[in-house]
Chain A
Amino acid sequence: MATVESSVPATGELKIVEDATCTFCGCVCDDIDLTVENNQITKAKRACVLGKAWFLNHEIEEKPSCLIDGKPATLEQGYDRAAQILTGGKYPIVYGLSDSPCEAQRVAVSITDWIDGTIDTTTSVCHGPSGMAFQGVGEVTCSLGEVTNRGDFIMFWGSNPAESHPRHFTKYSLMPKGMFVPNGRKDRTCVIVDVRKTKSAKAADIFLQIKPRKDFEGLWTLRALAKGVELDPKVVKEETGIELAVWQDVMDRMKAAKFGVIFFGMGLTMTRGKHANSEALLALTRDMNDHTRFVAKPNRGHGNVTGADNVVSWRTGYPFGVNHNRGYPRFNPGEYTTSDTLANGEADCGMMIACDPMANFSQPAREHLASIPYIALDAKETPTTRAAAVAFTVATYGINAPGTVYRMDDVPIPLRPAFESPHPSDFDVLTNIERRVKAIKGISG
């Protein structure tokens, strides 16, 4: 277990934790200075509005670390019951993971392997289509520091970082002065494409409000213009809601850029077209490399959803939606993804790790989940923990628990916890469950 800062302050001490990492969103800012007094974070220097809320509102849950059927139980009882549930089913599912450190994610994949289960992450309900598009066309991308140092044309498509990733503009993509963009914002052109005028829109030099559900058409318009294909202005305007001349102007700027960047969000991946939209955007980025340098980057949401993609991939070969029922990994989004295994009534037991499907899945999926025994791990009480057969209250990663998270650009960053929690970490809970699962299944590996 990786722990960069092993000494956490004892209760009552005042302590400054420098360069702590915020895991609230995919930006994973690792420059936060935390002031800790009496097991409370009182200052979070450099944190954005979301990060401040994350750190300053953090309180240890006054709740037992383990509940079985809603009643307080010891952790040992909880681990035993969890292992019994997971080894007792025919179609066990493990889901969530995007707000857990990699160390815990690895154990979750091991458990899934030992129980011939199905593992899926919240990627399947956010950038899963981007993952599928990636498998189709690939991706031209870079680390966020490259954007800072080189990016002179920055586009956001279906993404609203002003609200979802508040430091995106100031820390990485728009405002900072970089090696080859020494004047910062003045050296960059910003284009934002969305179906509504978001709070991010005012950061743009050019804002394109395209017709809802017409992202694919908009992207293909740009692809055509990149290749010099002649288009009918009337059709373009009708289909996309934007004049051809405006698209042409954007394309001219894209070609004139030295290092162009397109960030995209769920406004692209979760609207009509889904993975076809992502594929169009990734293909456009690729096409642009025949003219200049261009990269694309999904703006990932959860703090360690990128780590989940990585861990599940290195262990199984596939990024999410992986079924082990035959004793080896198989991948099929739409079949092995959790919203489907639940809505189709296939899963018969499960484990929900740092996620809340009872709050945000479809009604058939929620109803089925409520009908099967499952384990939930969360730092807070949620609809999912309330309906769980075994609910563990866990230490919050990055604040109370150590580990590794991957920023949205796949850069792994260590966590520096501020103070200890009375609750076990995800890693602790999963390791204990794994030990029991292995004993039940007779596994020595």
Chain B
Amino acid sequence: MSDLIKIYRGTVYDPANNINGEVRDLWIENGKIVEAPSDPSKPLNRTIDASGMVVMPGGIDMHCHIAGPKVNVARKMRPEEKRKAERIRRTEVTHSGTMGSVPSTFATGYKYAGLGYTTAFDAAIPPLGARHAHEEFEDTPCLDKGFYVLMGNNHYVMRSIQEGEPQKLNAFIAWLLQSAKGFAPKLVNPGGVEVWKHKQAGNVHGLDSVVDHFDVTPRQIISQVSQAANELGLPHPVHIHCNNLGMPGNWETTLETMKALQGRRGHITHIQFHSYGGGDGDENTFNSKVVPLAEYVNSHPNITVDVGQVLFGETTSMTGDGPLGYFLSNVYGGKWFSGDTEMEAGCGITPIKYKNKSLVHALQWAIGLEWYLLVEDPWRVVMSTDHPNGGSFLAYPQIIRFLMDRTYRQDVLKTCHPLVGKRSTLPDIEREYTLNEIAIITRAGPARILGLTNKGHLGPGADADITIYTPHDNKETMFEMPRVVIKSGQVIVDQGELRLAPIGKTLYVEPSYDIDLETDIQEWFEQYYSIRWRNYPVDPSYMHEPEVIGMRAE
């Protein structure tokens, strides 16, 4: 790790430091980017000639499902995909594994590294399953990892809102993140999952629906959790999966969710699934509402989004949104998993196939692309497929091609259901992304949104997570096989071959809170949980290479 490495004459894209395709040299020592050594005779352990190559920070996937109870259930549930999928053979440096829409842990790490991604966040972990997520993280190499903690249907959260106790809410969010060793609060269909536990096909249907028993509304949950999380100074205050995912006409719910933030920092995830016009479940009315939503995002700098791009093909839908799982399983008629976690959360899993000839699916594809192309500030829109929900993370190179190559985009649009052009603005959009903008939506932007000051850039002090690409006219070709990938200063991929598979760090937060309020949390906990208070928090011994991410200064 203490090797001094020089990468020379690469064409560097480092948007966070305003470097847009300049030929530069980079130095790495002790896993970090460093200044050029003042003593030019200092011996180099390795030099990498990046002449003619594109150099970017390592990719950051800020919203994927790669570990924990739900992901593992999906692995168990889908043996039929694996036989026909690519085979991951063991080698002298790597474990074997399986692919399909939900790859095994080691395969997940290797495949991310193979794309030049070095950091990923699992988007939905119930705190009761946090220990499981950490165990899987230890078996998911090549990536620095963290996860978001489900709390939009947590009983204590709803109770403290119901009782008007904001200081309890603050303390609870901090305590919960610390207990789970998690990174950020996640709201999934806030309130709706609790209603699902109360009655057949139960759900909330808008921001002002009242949640059974708790007498709170999704609007209150969104508003007050975002308030508390911002007060705590969390690096990524709140990550929101809105109510009414996938429903025609849900764009209004999404707009109301943005408004409920009342100017506070908040991230709306897989927004593609939340941008639909139409109504009454009628496919004929289904249409894109990206234009009004993107306008709102463009004029509200507190809001960031990731897309949740849909790609055509077979995948597995998995969500903390229990009622959504029920809905989808009825739409597609396949096998269905639902798992309710006491006091905390839900889960739904079902296989799904996106078809380009289906109007709804093709519109979903187009709506995703509209989001990338209609948000003016690339720092506030992030590439994601909501892996594996919209498609695999392995589709990122293809999405880059859609964004950088208008002709390719239009060619694929022509293969889709003919009404897509009329129900979305995609045919009229001329915009093409530059390499610098790609570097923003895949690295620099997510790092900034997550408050990761050592990631997503190549300035001195940054983690030496670097990807070197061979330029190619076809951007999918360029991005699907990087020449060199460096993780924490170690070359892990060289000439497209995986050479090393370090475990990677676990990124989490340790917000401070009023310890006196823990008594109240403990009383509640001991009344209702099926495990002991003492056995709930994840012990530090579960963390292999922990890194606490600091609170935001502002």
Which residues does A use to contact B, with CB under 8 Å? 1-4, 6, 18-19, 21, 30-31, 102, 106, 110, 113-114, 116, 131, 134-146, 148-150, 171-172, 178-180, 258-259, 286, 289-293, 295, 309-311, 313-319, 324, 326-331, 404, 406-407, 410-414, 442-445
Report the separation of the CA atoms of residues A176 and B128 in the bound assembly, to the nearest whole angstrom.
20
17 new A-B contacts, CB < 8 A, other than A1-B541, A143-B530, are A3-B541, A4-B539, A18-B534, A143-B340, A171-B530, A289-B326, A293-B198, A311-B135, A314-B105, A314-B136, A318-B82, A328-B87, A328-B90, A329-B104, A404-B135, A413-B531, A445-B93
Report the separation of the CA atoms of residues A396 and B80 in the bound assembly, to the nearest whole angstrom.
38
Chain B positions 68-91 with a Cβ under 8 Å from a chain A Cβ: 69, 71-73, 75-80, 82-83, 87-91
25 residue pairs A–B, Cβ–Cβ below 8 Å: A2-B539, A3-B541, A30-B532, A135-B335, A136-B335, A141-B337, A141-B340, A143-B342, A150-B197, A259-B197, A286-B336, A289-B200, A293-B202, A295-B338, A316-B104, A317-B75, A317-B100, A317-B104, A328-B89, A410-B132, A412-B132, A413-B531, A413-B535, A414-B535, A443-B92
Closest chain A residue to B89 by CB distance?
A327
Inter-chain contact B69/A328, CB cutoff 8 Å: no
B306 nearest CB across to chain A (Å): 25
Inter-chain contact B76/A309, CB cutoff 8 Å: yes
Inter-chain contacts of A442 with B (CB < 8 A): 92
Inter-chain contacts of B361 with A (CB < 8 A): none
Evaluate whether A315 and B95 lie within 8 angstroms (CB atoms) in the complex, with A31-B532, A414-B535, A414-B539 already known: yes
Evaluate whether A140 and B337 lie within 8 angstroms (CB atoms) in the complex, with A2-B542, A30-B531, A293-B199 already known: yes
Report the separation of the CA atoms of residues A30 and B526 in the bound assembly, to the nearest whole angstrom.
13
Inter-chain contact A292/B200, CB cutoff 8 Å: yes
Evaluate whether A135 and B79 lie within 8 angstroms (CB atoms) in the complex, with A149-B342, A315-B106 already known: yes
Inter-chain contact B96/A141, CB cutoff 8 Å: no
Inter-chain contact A412/B338, CB cutoff 8 Å: no
User: What number of A-B contacts does a CB cutoff of 8 Å give?
Assistant: 214
The residue in A140, A317, A407, A414 that gathers the most chain B C-beta atoms within 10 A of its C-beta is: A317
* B343 contacts chain A at the CB level, 8 A cutoff: yes
Inter-chain contacts of A102 with B (CB < 8 A): 135
Inter-chain contact B97/A315, CB cutoff 8 Å: yes
Inter-chain contact A4/B72, CB cutoff 8 Å: no
* B529 contacts chain A at the CB level, 8 A cutoff: yes
**Which residue in A3, A113, A135, A141 is a CB contact (below 8 Å) of B76?**
A135
> Chain B interface secondary structure, helix, strand, loop or mixed?
mixed
Closest chain A residue to B67 by CB distance?
A314
* B341 contacts chain A at the CB level, 8 A cutoff: yes
Inter-chain contact B96/A329, CB cutoff 8 Å: yes
Inter-chain contact B135/A113, CB cutoff 8 Å: no
Inter-chain contact A329/B97, CB cutoff 8 Å: yes
Report the separation of the CA atoms of residues A309 and B329 in the bound assembly, to the nearest whole angstrom.
24
Inter-chain contacts of A138 with B (CB < 8 A): 77, 329, 334-338, 349-350
* B377 contacts chain A at the CB level, 8 A cutoff: no
B63 nearest CB across to chain A (Å): 20
**Which residue in B77, B98, B131, B334 is a CB contact (below 8 Å) of A316?**
B98
* B103 contacts chain A at the CB level, 8 A cutoff: yes
B100 nearest CB across to chain A (Å): 7
Inter-chain contact A149/B528, CB cutoff 8 Å: yes
Inter-chain contacts of A324 with B (CB < 8 A): 90, 96
Report the separation of the CA atoms of residues A388 and B129 in the bound assembly, to the nearest whole angstrom.
37
Inter-chain contacts of B132 with A (CB < 8 A): 310, 406, 410, 412
**Which residue in B79, B88, B199, B340 is a CB contact (below 8 Å) of A328?**
B88
Inter-chain contact B98/A404, CB cutoff 8 Å: no
Inter-chain contact A314/B534, CB cutoff 8 Å: no
Inter-chain contact B129/A19, CB cutoff 8 Å: no
Inter-chain contacts of A314 with B (CB < 8 A): 67, 71-72, 75, 104-105, 135-136, 139
> Chain A interface secondary structure, helix, strand, loop or mixed?
mixed
Number of B residues contacting the other chain (C-beta, 8 Å)?
71
The residue in A113, A139, A148, A324 that gathers the most chain B C-beta atoms within 10 A of its C-beta is: A139
Inter-chain contacts of A406 with B (CB < 8 A): 132
* B546 contacts chain A at the CB level, 8 A cutoff: no
Inter-chain contacts of A30 with B (CB < 8 A): 531-532, 535
Report the separation of the CA atoms of residues A309 and B72 in the bound assembly, to the nearest whole angstrom.
10
Inter-chain contact A135/B69, CB cutoff 8 Å: no
Report the separation of the CA atoms of residues A43 and B390 in the bound assembly, to the nearest whole angstrom.
54
Evaluate whether A328 and B200 lie within 8 angstroms (CB atoms) in the complex, with A106-B139, A142-B342, A414-B539 already known: no
Inter-chain contacts of B342 with A (CB < 8 A): 142-146, 148-149
* B94 contacts chain A at the CB level, 8 A cutoff: yes
Report the separation of the CA atoms of residues A309 and B69 in the bound assembly, to the nearest whole angstrom.
12
B166 nearest CB across to chain A (Å): 23
**Which residue in A145, A329, A443 is a CB contact (below 8 Å) of B528?**
A145
* B339 contacts chain A at the CB level, 8 A cutoff: yes
Inter-chain contact A140/B76, CB cutoff 8 Å: no
Report the separation of the CA atoms of residues A135 and B78 in the bound assembly, to the nearest whole angstrom.
6
* B293 contacts chain A at the CB level, 8 A cutoff: no
Inter-chain contacts of A149 with B (CB < 8 A): 342-343, 528
The 6 closest A-B pairs by CB, nearest first: A145-B342, A317-B98, A145-B530, A138-B335, A142-B340, A445-B93
**Which residue in B78, B80, B102, B200 is a CB contact (below 8 Å) of A290?**
B200
B411 nearest CB across to chain A (Å): 35
Report the separation of the CA atoms of residues A331 and B336 in the bound assembly, to the nearest whole angstrom.
21
Inter-chain contacts of B71 with A (CB < 8 A): 314
Inter-chain contact B199/A412, CB cutoff 8 Å: no
Inter-chain contact B96/A328, CB cutoff 8 Å: yes
Evaluate whether A315 and B532 lie within 8 angstroms (CB atoms) in the complex, with A114-B90, A134-B77, A140-B337 already known: no
Closest chain A residue to B155 by CB distance?
A179
Report the separation of the CA atoms of residues A317 and B83 in the bound assembly, to the nearest whole angstrom.
11
Inter-chain contacts of B136 with A (CB < 8 A): 314
**Which residue in B92, B341, B349 is a CB contact (below 8 Å) of A142?**
B341
**Which residue in A114, A150, A291, A317 is a CB contact (below 8 Å) of B103?**
A317
Inter-chain contacts of A289 with B (CB < 8 A): 200, 326, 338
Report the separation of the CA atoms of residues A143 and B342 in the bound assembly, to the nearest whole angstrom.
6
Report the separation of the CA atoms of residues A292 and B201 in the bound assembly, to the nearest whole angstrom.
8
